[in-house]
Amino acid sequence: MKIKVLLLDDHLMMVQGIKQLLEHDRVIEVVSTLSNPAEIYDEIDHHRPNILIIDIRMKSFNGISLTRNIKKTFPELKIVILSGYEYDEYIYAAYNAGAAAYVRKENSINELITAVKQSFAGNHVFPQHAVNLSVDRLTHKELEVLKLIAEDKTNMEISSALKLSKRTVERHISSIIQKMDANSRVGAVVNGIKQGLLHV
């Protein structure tokens, strides 16, 4: 069975070049290439790819935001972020948006092919120097609690806002601090901002 790949990059020459290089691998089939992000949902719906390779920065679209939104509609789709940058903030944000892999454009085509195959197999592929990516992602409820912590809400106020018992809130906060590799509520908020979970 071939791995069906959809390519999105607003630089047409870049997307055509990547297509040709990917198709040298017998396991990969590029089902479509796209330079207009506005058409992405229709293309995914039509071709049902296994993997979407997407540029992190396009003229009118942010690849991270697009990844987050696409994953809401197509949760099973594996997304590989292609980037000219290796800033930790971008890597964290890509991971937390639901991307399966983050590959620099300067890397070899073999690394991109590996990322495609590993993503298809259900693995994550991110730069090795990026720390804390192996931790469990926050649950939806934990993310809600973290946002309220960032708003300086007390446990009682969080309990009231989310209609949770005080003990449940305390359990969530303990889990958040552990997952965010922090020592306190403040540390969890700081790491949340760094990882793109919170926007201030």
- Fold held by 140-194: Arc Repressor Mutant, subunit A (1.10.10)
The per-residue pLDDT for 134 is 47
- 3.40.50.2300, 3.10.440.10, 1.10.490.10, 3.40.50.11740: which CATH number matches 3-120? 3.40.50.2300
Residues spanned by CATH 3.40.50.2300 within the chain?
3-120
The beta strand positions in 84-178, using DSSP E, are 101-104
Secondary structure of residue 60 in the 3-state scheme: coil
| Residue 112 contacts residue 82 (beta carbons within 8 Å) | yes
Q: How far apart are CA 153 and CA 165, in angstroms?
A: 15
Q: How far apart are CA 118 and CA 66, in angstroms?
A: 22
The encoded tokens of residue 25 equal 């691998």
The per-residue pLDDT for 128 is 63
Q: Which residue did the predictor score with more confidence, 187 or 127?
A: 187
With b for 16 or more beta-carbon neighbours within 10 A and e for fewer, the 94-105 pattern comes to: bbbbbbbbbbee
Which residue(s) pair with 6 in the sheet? 32, 52
116-123: long-range contacts at Cβ-Cβ below 8 A with a sequence spacing of 24 or more?
116/3, 116/5, 116/22, 116/28, 116/51, 116/53, 116/80, 117/3, 117/27, 119/51, 119/78, 119/79, 119/80, 120/3, 120/50, 120/51, 120/78
- pLDDT of residue 105 exceeding 80, the answer is yes
Residues spanned by CATH 1.10.10.10 within the chain?
140-194
* 154-192 pLDDT tens trace: 999 999 999 999 999 999 999 999 888 888 999 999 888
The per-residue pLDDT for 15 is 86
Q: What is the pTM of this model?
A: 0.67
Query: Reading across the β-sheet that carries 3-8, which strands appear in turn?
Result: 28-34, 3-8, 51-55, 78-83, 101-104
Interval 139-160 mean pLDDT? 93
- Rg, the chain, Cα only: 19
* 26-71 pLDDT tens trace: 999 999 998 888 899 999 999 999 999 998 877 777 888 899 999 9
Gap between the terminal Cα atoms of the chain? 45
- pLDDT of residue 194 exceeding 60, the answer is yes
Q: Which residue did the predictor score with more confidence, 143 or 89?
A: 143
